[in-house]
Amino acid sequence: MDMLSLNKDFSLYDLRLIGDLATHILSYDELITLYRNLPTFDPYHYGEDTVIYRTQIHKILNNICDICINENNIELATEILNKHKNFAKVHTDLRYLFYIRINEIMINYLKDNDKKELDKLLEISESFKLAGDINTANAVKYQYNSHKNKETYELKKAVSFDSL
């Protein structure tokens, strides 16, 4: 079965594949098609006992938003970010709240080209470092350095895997 032909009917396994692999194996256009075929992820459709589902939804929304930012599709990135923020209001996850903030910073930076906005990434990087998450701290710092120095930012070099 073609992953893109699934019509808003996804199992937990499907969500894990999408969260972990789709952003690495699908082209940008395929990924956007997949995003458009995902369920609405209404935050009230998931109970408190569905932590693993919620984590996958956070991951999917964050990863696709990252890619839209990297592709400079600010309109879609903002749409996804707002959906992610609404989901996080009901199903809070501190790690993903940081990721939401990173995406907000990047969208604001791309809109205004204000390098001071990027400095906020250093604060987030330091927070991850203090929490002992050195890989994520380094990924955020790489993102900062790439954009600050106008170097090519490669998402695959900024991957930080969840422990789930």
pLDDT tens-digit profile, the chain (164 residues): 344 444 556 778 888 888 888 888 999 999 999 999 888 877 776 555 577 788 888 999 999 999 999 999 999 999 999 999 999 998 888 999 999 999 999 999 999 988 899 999 999 999 999 999 999 999 999 989 888 886 666 655 555 555 44
Domain encompassing residue 75: 3-158
The answer to whether residue 86 is domain-embedded is yes
Residue 82 lies in a domain: yes
Domain total of the chain: 1
Is there a domain that residue 27 lies in?
yes
pLDDT score recorded for residue 51: 74
In a domain, 163, yes or no: no
CATH number at residue 118: 1.25.40.400
pLDDT at 1: 37
Tokens linked to 62: 């964050």
Rounded CA gap, 6 and 37, in Å? Answer: 7
Q: Report the phi/psi class of residue 41: left, alpha or beta, with left for phi > 0 and alpha for psi in -120 to 50.
A: left
**What integer pLDDT is reported at residue 154 of this predicted model?**
64
Residue 164 lies in a domain: no
pTM, two decimal places? 0.83
